[in-house]
Amino acid sequence: MANVTPTKSNLTALQEETTLAKEGHGLLEQKREVLVINLNSIVANIKEKRGLLDEKLSNVYHQLNLVRLESGGINLDLIVNSVAHDYEVEPIPHSIMGVVAPRLVYTEKKTTNRSKVPMGISGTSPNFDKLLQITIEIKSLITEVAYLESTAWRLVNEIKKTQRRINALENFVIPEAVETIKFIKNILEEKDRETLFQIKRIKAKQEKKKALKKETAHDV
C-alpha cells in the first residue's frame, strides 16, 4: 500500500489515477490483441514465402546443373561473374501499432551479359537466362522474407513489453491503488464518525445546559 496522507483531495486524485490505469490496461489489452493478429498473419506469410523460396532454390540448383553440363566444363565462376548485377534494397518507412518495421523494396536494375564464353551455337543460352531470372526472383524473395522475419521479431518483442505492462497494472499498480483507496476511505469514514460523535456530544452538552438554565430560572 502506498504511503499516502489520507485526505479527500488525495482520495480524489488516486481515484482518477486508478480510472486512468484501468483505461490504460484495457487499451494495452486491445493493442496486444491487434499485435498478435498481425503477428499470426505475418507468420503465415513467412511460411508461404519460405515454401516458395525453397522451391526456387531447388529450381536454381537444377538449372545450375544444366548450365554446368551446357558449358562444356568451363568454370562456372567465370560464367556467373561474367554477368553484371546491379540492384538495390530500399527501406520504406512503415509501422504496425507504433512498432517501426520498414518495408524492404528490392529493385533489379538492367543486367548486362558481359560473357565471352560460348554458350551454344547462337552464342546465348536459354538455360543460363533462366538461371539468372530465377536468381533475381530468389533475391527478391529473400528480401521479402528478411522484412517479414524482422517485423515478426519486432512484434514479438513489442507483445512481450505490452504484456509486461499489462501484468504490472494488473498485479501491482491497480490492486495497490484499490487497496490504498480502501484504506483512505476507511480512515476518512472513521474521522467522520468521530466528528459526528463529537458534534452529538457537544449538542447534548448544550441541550443539558439549556435545560439546566430553564430549571434554574423556574426555581427562581
Mean pLDDT, all residues of the chain: 83
* pLDDT reading at 171 higher than 90: yes
Which pLDDT tens digit goes with each residue over 17-34? 999 999 999 999 999 999
Dig out the grid coordinates for 196 from the structure.
459526528
* pLDDT reading at 123 higher than 50: no
From residue 83, alpha-carbon distances to 3, 71, 192 in Å are 74, 15, 90
Alpha-helix runs per DSSP H in the chain = 8-70, 76-81, 126-168, 174-219
Contacts from 165-170 at CB under 8 Å and sequence distance 24+?
Answer: 165/28, 166/25, 166/28, 166/29, 166/32, 169/21, 169/24, 169/25, 169/28, 170/25
Which pLDDT tens digit goes with each residue over 48-96? 999 999 999 898 888 888 877 777 655 566 666 665 567 788 888 888 8
- Cβ partners under 8 Å of residue 194, min gap 6: none
Q: What is the mean pLDDT of residues 119-135?
A: 68
Q: Is 21 helix (H, G, I), strand (E, B) or coil?
A: helix
Record the pTM. Answer: 0.74
- Nearest in space to 76 (alpha carbons), one of 67, 84, 85: 67
- Nearest in space to 115 (alpha carbons), one of 174, 63, 75, 164: 75
Please tell me the distance from the alpha carbon of residue 93 to that of residue 144, in angstroms, as a whole number.
Answer: 15
Domains identified in the chain and CATH numbers: 8-179 (1.10.287.3240)
